[in-house]
């Protein structure tokens, strides 16, 4: 039973929840530190909790299928027509909807090696062929090589900026040069799930590309800097030609009422966003300083996580990960991304980062 291209998919493996790790390793749940899923260490903003509690009183009704209020808030903030916004059940939904709208069996979808795991999944789910392009020497997207990989069969290209799990960042000029040469029949997703963590110097105007290129869609998330991962909400920004397609195939009520209410509040909560940004900068400095002192290589990251090389043995990542789990620290091994000697550490609260650092020092004897 089942389509061959579906049977061939290797399922997504998410991080283990704290309760499961506690049970498996006989640990006290309250002492476990989870730095594994690029979640916000501050959790949900209070403003969003309040808005959600109010929305919870009316769950007998369906959510607003068109997300009127949130889409208008986003359109105002981004200065685009409201028809250019598509809400998704997480930005994952936007990635999958785009793949479903433009690619099928016989088509090709291009993305980079070490890029976000959902790109191959979304590609294979529609029966299209995944074209994985070798990364640059410093683990980034090789946009000129990705351009060369585009054929008459290509329908879609995924570009993650910054990318997960590598944290690598592409400058606006590099993306601009790429977009100028991408043929019109190819849709380009610019996945900006971690956009809010970019420094002011790194920030660029992706919406200008949406205005200029009818084959570009930018996707963003409320899961990371806005702290709403469990509610599942993200959005896409594209011109009507793409938005209209996504609207035809999305579930009519793909974003629930609690998520919509919380996102409206979070979007307006600039104080929370600033606090997350500052906390992330400090945590990144704390972790990378410790890696420097331990003599460990890491990939400079523009996200809320960092990849660190924990050994030279072929499976060093898995080995060290197991020891960290025993010590009550959950991080993310990235062997499935072709990086079996590395671990991805989500940036946590200062005390959480320190618990991880101390455990790693002990395990590696550094």
Contacts of 235 (CB under 8 A, 6+ apart): 71, 74, 85, 86, 87, 88, 91, 94, 219, 220
**Selected range binding ligand PMP among 68-76, 89-97, 294-302, 323-331, rule: CB under 6 A:** 89-97
Retrieve residue 35's tokens.
């730095």
- Is residue 330 a contact partner of residue 21, using CB atoms and an 8 Å limit? yes
Contacting ligand PMP within 219-248 (CB under 6 A):
221, 223, 229, 234
Tell me whether residue 164 or residue 353 sits nearer to ligand PMP (CB atom).
164
HEC string of 12-27 equals: CCCCCCHHHHHHHHCC
Q: How far is the CB of 27 from ligand PMP (least distance, A)?
A: 25
Cα-based torsion angle of the residue sequence 53, 34, 227, 336 in order, rounded to the nearest 10 degrees:
-130
What SS3 class is residue 341?
Answer: strand
Is the peptide bond prior to 162 cis by the omega test (within 30 degrees of 0)?
A: yes
User: Among all residues, whose Cβ is closest to ligand PMP?
Assistant: 90
Contacts of 155 (CB under 8 A, 6+ apart): 102, 103, 107, 108, 109, 128, 185, 186, 187
**Selected range binding ligand PMP among 49-57, 59-67, 84-92, 206-214, rule: CB under 6 A:** 84-92
Tell me whether residue 155 or residue 332 sits nearer to ligand PMP (CB atom).
332
Q: How far is the CB of 94 from ligand PMP (least distance, A)?
A: 8
Q: How far is the CB of 334 from ligand PMP (least distance, A)?
A: 12
Tell me whether residue 155 or residue 232 sits nearer to ligand PMP (CB atom).
232
Q: How far is the CB of 62 from ligand PMP (least distance, A)?
A: 22
**Location of structure tokens 């040069």:** 177
Q: How far is the CB of 81 from ligand PMP (least distance, A)?
A: 23
Contacting ligand PMP within 291-330 (CB under 6 A):
none
**Selected range binding ligand PMP among 90-98, 104-112, 265-273, 341-349, rule: CB under 6 A:** 90-98
Q: Report how far apart the first and last C-alpha atoms of the chain are (Å, whole number).
A: 52
Distance CA 56, CA 50 (A): 10
Q: How far is the CB of 38 from ligand PMP (least distance, A)?
A: 6
Q: Is residue 90 a contact residue for ligand PMP (CB under 6 A)?
A: yes
Binder of ligand PMP out of 40, 86, 92, 123 (CB under 6 A): 92
CA-based nearest residue to 236, from 228, 244, 225: 244
Binding mask 25-64 for ligand PMP (x = CB under 6 A): -------------x--------------------------
Q: What are phi and psi of 284, to 5 degrees?
A: -65, -45
Q: How far is the CB of 299 from ligand PMP (least distance, A)?
A: 15
Residue ranges in contact with ligand PMP by CB under 6 A: 38, 90-92, 116, 160, 164, 191, 193, 221, 223, 229, 234
């Amino acid at each position: 039973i089942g389509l061959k291209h579906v049977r061939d998919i290797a399922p997504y493996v998410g991080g283990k929840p704290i309760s499961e790790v506690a049970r498996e390793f006989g640990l006290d749940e309250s002492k476990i530190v989870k730095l594994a899923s690029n979640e916000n260490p501050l959790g949900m903003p209070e403003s969003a909790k309040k808005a959600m509690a109010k929305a919870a009183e009316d769950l007998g009704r369906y959510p607003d299928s068109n997300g009127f209020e949130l889409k208008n808030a986003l359109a105002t903030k981004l200065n685009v027509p409201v028809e250019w916004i598509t809400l998704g059940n997480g930005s994952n939904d936007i990635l999958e909807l785009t793949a479903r709208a433009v690619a099928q069996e016989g088509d090709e979808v291009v993305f980079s090696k070490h890029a976000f795991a959902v790109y191959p999944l979304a590609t294979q789910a529609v029966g299209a062929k995944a074209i994985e392009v070798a990364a640059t020497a410093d683990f980034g997207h090789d946009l000129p090589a990705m351009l060369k990989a585009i054929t008459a069969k290509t329908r879609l290209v995924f570009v993650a900026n910054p990318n997960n799990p590598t944290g690598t960042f592409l400058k606006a000029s590099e993306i601009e040069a790429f977009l100028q040469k991408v043929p019109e029949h190819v849709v380009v997703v610019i996945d900006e799930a971690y956009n809010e963590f970019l420094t002011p110097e790194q920030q660029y105007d992706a919406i200008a590309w949406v205005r200029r290129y009818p084959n570009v869609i930018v996707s963003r998330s409320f899961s990371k800097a806005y702290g709403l991962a469990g509610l599942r909400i993200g959005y896409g920004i594209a011109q009507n030609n793409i938005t209209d397609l996504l609207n035809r195939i999305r579930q009519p009520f793909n974003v629930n009422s609690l998520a919509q209410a919380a996102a409206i509040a979070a979007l307006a909560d600039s104080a929370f966003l600033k606090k997350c940004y500052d906390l992330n900068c400090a945590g990144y400095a704390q972790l990378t300083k410790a890696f420097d002192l331990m003599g460990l290589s890491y990939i400079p990251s523009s996200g809320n996580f960092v990849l660190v090389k924990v050994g030279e043995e072929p499976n060093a990542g898995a080995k060290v990960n197991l020891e960290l789990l025993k010590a009550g620290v959950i991080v993310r091994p990235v062997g499935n991304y072709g990086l079996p000697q590395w671990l991805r550490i989500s940036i946590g609260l200062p005390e959480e980062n320190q618990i991880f650092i101390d455990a790693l020092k002990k395990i590696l004897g550094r």
